[in-house]
Amino acid sequence: MGQNKRLSKNKIKVIAEISTLAAAGTLSAAARMIPGFAQWYSTHLYPIWVGSIGRILGYFPFSVSELLLYLLIFWVCTVFIRLIARKAISKRKAVETGCYLAIALCFLYVVNCGVNYQRDSFSETSGILMEEYTSEELEEVCRWLTENIADYSDKVKRGSDGGMILKVSVGRAAVEAMEKLSDEYPELKGYYPKPKKLVNSWILSIQNLSGVYSPFTIEANYNGDMQDYYIPFTACHELSHLRGFMQEQEANFISFLACINSGENEFVYSGNLSGWIQCMNVLYRVDYDAWEEVRNQLPSEVEADLKLNREFWAKYDGRIAEVSNRVNDTYLKANGQKDGVESYNRMVDLIVAYYKYQYIQNGCQ
């Protein structure tokens, strides 16, 4: 009788595993093969998960995903030690538990992230369409961003090393910035949990990551150890993923818009400087003389932020960062971003398109 009961429980477990995998596979296939499904899912079902799971876990003042990572590491180490000592656990039990966990994580990834990669882009829904532009137009955008930086570089607090110091609550201000932007772009409306600083940001630093969206807990996490000027931009970037915009160039662009329109000096400065760096990198490659001329117009106090940022990331250059970059590149390409990690820089195309539409066609100042 007891053996039959165990067999019945095992059968139920196998059916549950197969059903979960089938559901994840079906959703992934539907997102790729059925036109409009991913868009419908992203705007109707995904917000429910954000508004429920994201809201509940958002009440925790720490990153739940970070805590779960530590628990996972502890579990793996415990299983390994027990297997070596041949105590209390069998290889079969360890493998079964590992499979259950992997299947659950796969399912959560698909429903909270994977499907969203196939939705309509922010560029399409907002009407800010990328198009060809000249080096002269890019130079004009770089000058515009330089002027914006100059306007706000003396409005932020600075430390003894000259770097910007954040005085506002990042979580609160980031949520408010995204909510304010959603008044202009309705596709960004919805619930936003506060982004969270990792307790041990070293985990991100060694991977050369400024932030990460956790699809397993629907949390926006950021690296609290990096230079302060980049934190507001990163926080808004990760929050944009919670509206289903997974493409990195679009998350960067949404973050840029949220920051420069936030009304918070630190956020406006962060958005303009982050956008300036990306645009100037492209201008450097296409017109060095123009780049040099614009570069010389950057206010001297901003140099401290750039210097401190370079020095911070230089400490973590190495094999781990290289491997992490390759893994991220492969991951992005597998999800339809053919440029891989280079897609982060494609925000330049959107910034130029935004400038041409907002400041030239509409005559804004």
| DSSP notation for 201-236 | THHHHTTT-SEEEETTTTEEEE-SSS-GGGHHHHHH
Q: What distances in angstroms separate CA 192 from CA 48, 116, 227, 303, one per listed residue?
A: 12, 17, 24, 33
DSSP code of 191?
Answer: -
Question: What is the C-alpha to C-alpha distance for residues 298 and 169, in angstroms, rounded to an integer?
Answer: 27
Alpha helices by DSSP H, listed for the chain, are 2-33, 37-40, 46-49, 55-58, 64-85, 91-109, 122-126, 135-152, 170-182, 202-205, 231-241, 248-260, 265-286, 288-295, 302-314, 319-334, 347-355
Q: Which residues contact 90 (CB under 8 A, 6 or more apart)?
A: none
Tokens of 246: 């997974």
Query: Could you tell me which residues come within 8 angstroms of residue 317 by beta carbon, excluding any fewer than 6 positions away?
Result: 208
The reply to whether the predicted model has a pTM over 0.75 is: yes
pLDDT of 361 reads 56
| Cβ contact 207:321 at 8 Å | yes
Summarised one tens digit per residue, pLDDT across range 246-259 is 999 999 999 999 99
8 Å CB contact between 180 and 262? yes
331 contacts 112 by C-beta, under 8 angstroms: no
Alpha-carbon span 195 to 284, nearest angstrom: 33
Which pLDDT value is given to residue 96?
Answer: 79
Which backbone phi and psi does 209 adopt, to 5 degrees? -115, 135
Residue ranges, the chain, pLDDT below 50 = 324, 328, 331, 337, 339-344, 365
Residue pointed to by tokens 């973050």: 255
